[in-house]
Structure 1
Amino acid sequence: MRVFVYVTLVFPLAALPLARLATARLHPRHAAWVLSGAAVALAGTSCGALGLLVIAALVRVPVLARLAHLSRRVVGTTDPTSGLVAVCAGILFGAALLGTIAFAVARIRALAAAFGHARALPGRHDLVITEDDAADAYTVPGRPGRIVVSTGMLAALDEPGRRALLAHEQAHLGGRHYVFGTAVRLAAAANPLVRPLAVAVDFALERWADEHAAREIGDRRQVAAAIAAAAIATKRTRPSRNPLLAMGAVLSRTGDLRLDGAGPVPRRVAALLSPTPRSSVIALIAALAVMALAAFCALEAANDLHELIALAHIERARR
């Protein structure tokens, strides 16, 4: 078990290169799906590996081995997990569990507040225009979800820019992008090593919405100009929205996070001034291979522990 379980713990270190590879070589829609899956897979398998180390140490405790009807001789000689490793694994597993629960509770409350806010917004249509001089535009998840745009934002854009902005926000709403964000941040709460994947997914979701807007408008340069104008207007007026309720805002709390040198808005504009991106089959296979190998190692480690416990149980039953 030792080889597979420790290899599983190493896989989250691939998060940063995987994030850069997918961001550069995959279509934003594909990148969002692949990186979200990778974050959940790497966090889940690594936390599972920590749990296996804890279980392997617990079954060596005399009292617990006797209660589980296991042979201490078999468990002790077959899986010599050190006490220090077990203690470290237990601390990390406990921290991961507490972090996951804390995030899940906070996220559920935030989504409940967002759904309530969406229901409380005036009108029955998806689009809600607020009387606010501060330039702002964002999506509120709910049933139904709403797109909120301020009069200040509408005044900062021309007619093509407004259509591009609404198409962008509609992509966030129709694609339920808040689900992707929730999944990757839950994974990052469980294992901080996968945080680069959460940052990359945030960027991929914005790029996904940008590409949707470019396809709807039919003019990539117009969408790029609209994003730049909206970002400048938002930064100048600094809207005071509740960040827990807003999704897909032009400038959000994640706006300063970077995977490389440039900020997200200049990178989005540059991408729109380039041809429509296509996914690299090699990059896609590489990303899926990382997830598959992590899952394989975790399953092998779990299977080894299962066989160990079964052997110890049989040895004890023979006595």
Structure 2
Amino acid sequence: MHIAVYVPLLLALLAPLGARPLSERCEPRLATWLLTASSLILGAASTISLGLLAVTGLIRIPLLAHLGHWSAFSAQHTDPAQLSIALAAGLLLGGAAITAGRMLWRRVRTLAAAAMDAACMPTHDGLVVMNDAAPDAYALPGLPGRVVVSTGMLNTLDQTERDILLAHERAHLSAHHYAFVALAQFGAAANPLLRPLAIAVTYTTERWADENAATASGDRMRVARTVGKAALATHSTPVRTRVAGAALGIIGRRGPLASAGPVPRRVAALMAPPLGRHPAIAAATAAILTAATLATAEAAHDLHILLHTVGAWR
């Protein structure tokens, strides 16, 4: 195998360095798309690279080489990848497959539970009000989804702030933000180095919903105050009513990824002018993903040539 097989692994190592700058300098909707695509493509490309390297180790085993009609002796002398690298790649590939499989299974179960919960919440306008003194509000995905708000949160906000909160939560549902978060986390499950990208997606989806609320209300400062007020109201209040991993709310996700969307950063962004699309950032991201894709294709072609070569020696 030649240098191309290592390019996706190198890009996956470097990509997290750009996660936070991209999330803070680029318009939230575009940033969410770019970060999600980066997590998925780099996760897939790096996993495929590990698989290609692992195959070069497998064909050096006489029994397995015999099954594929290859020459193990030729593979040992033709393939430039060291056996230790191939074995390490195989172990990493096994770990990635297990982690990604477990994450996918948990996510499917979570979203199914969320859809069931949403179906059990009859409503005419998609809004469900819970009789709960604990301030909380979140969007629950389903067919259709629901915006769930506690009486505690409604009592905390005035009418304008309630409208802002509902616009924020409805933006989560209409833009399918839970899908972006799930896909980015799936890429990070395949390659843990990409976890910062998944965390950044959680933040940019909140920023995306903030900007939608700002557009609907026409008052960015009022949205900033509402976000801060809702966060302060829920700061010391435990929330047990959400479906873990499926609900997105104005205060951000709770749990292991809570640090992904810190409220002060969101408030500061709302108090500043809206961010632009920054075509240069989008072009650079597209170039990186293209390079990863092409390198993976080139590595697969290299493996094809290697298998043909060791097969001809048989």
TM range (shorter): over 0.9
The amino acid of 1:116's aligned partner reads: M
Secondary structure of 1:69's counterpart equals: coil
| Superposed displacement of residue 277, structure 1 | 0.9
- Structure 2 CA distance for aligned equivalents of residues 166 and 293 of structure 1: 41
Q: Could you report, residue by residue, the CA deviation over 1:162-192 in whole angstroms, capped at 9, with x for unpaired residues?
A: 1111100010010011100110111111111
Secondary structure of 1:257's counterpart equals: helix
Q: Which moved more, 1:12-21 or 1:212-221?
A: 12-21
Q: Is the 8 A contact 1:22 1:284 kept in 2?
A: no
The 5 A counterparts of 1:279-294 are: 279-294=277-292
Q: Percent identity?
A: 43
Gaps of 5+ in 1: none
Secondary structure of 2:248's counterpart equals: coil
With over 3 angstroms needed to count, the CA separation of the structure-2 counterparts of 1:238 and 1:71, relative to structure 1, is closer
Q: Could you report, residue by residue, the CA deviation over 1:86-136 in whole angstroms, capped at 9, with x for unpaired residues?
A: 221111100000001111111111111100000011323311111111100
Secondary structure of 2:170's counterpart equals: helix
Q: Could you report, residue by residue, the CA deviation over 1:185-208 in whole angstroms, capped at 9, with x for unpaired residues?
A: 111111110000011000000000
- Structure 1 CA distance for aligned equivalents of residues 81 and 236 of structure 2: 58
Q: Is the 8 A contact 2:28 2:208 kept in 1?
A: yes
Secondary structure of 2:251's counterpart equals: coil
Aligned length: 312
Aligned to 1:186: 186
- Structure 1 CA distance for aligned equivalents of residues 101 and 250 of structure 2: 27
The amino acid of 1:253's aligned partner reads: G
With over 3 angstroms needed to count, the CA separation of the structure-2 counterparts of 1:245 and 1:5, relative to structure 1, is closer
Q: Is the 8 A contact 1:114 1:244 kept in 2?
A: no
| Superposed displacement of residue 253, structure 1 | 2.0
- Structure 1 CA distance for aligned equivalents of residues 130 and 222 of structure 2: 24
Q: Which moved more, 1:34-43 or 1:71-80?
A: 71-80
Q: Is the 8 A contact 2:62 2:71 kept in 1?
A: no
1:27 paired with 2:18, answer no
| Superposed displacement of residue 4, structure 1 | 1.2
Q: Is the 8 A contact 1:22 1:287 kept in 2?
A: no
Picking from 239, 253, 261, the partner of 2:255 is 253
The amino acid of 1:301's aligned partner reads: A
With over 3 angstroms needed to count, the CA separation of the structure-2 counterparts of 1:313 and 1:302, relative to structure 1, is same
| Superposed displacement of residue 315, structure 1 | 3.8
Aligned to 1:202: 202
| Superposed displacement of residue 2, structure 1 | 3.0
TM-score of the pair, normalised by structure 1: 0.93
RMSD: 1.6
Aligned to 1:226: 226
| Superposed displacement of residue 249, structure 1 | 4.7
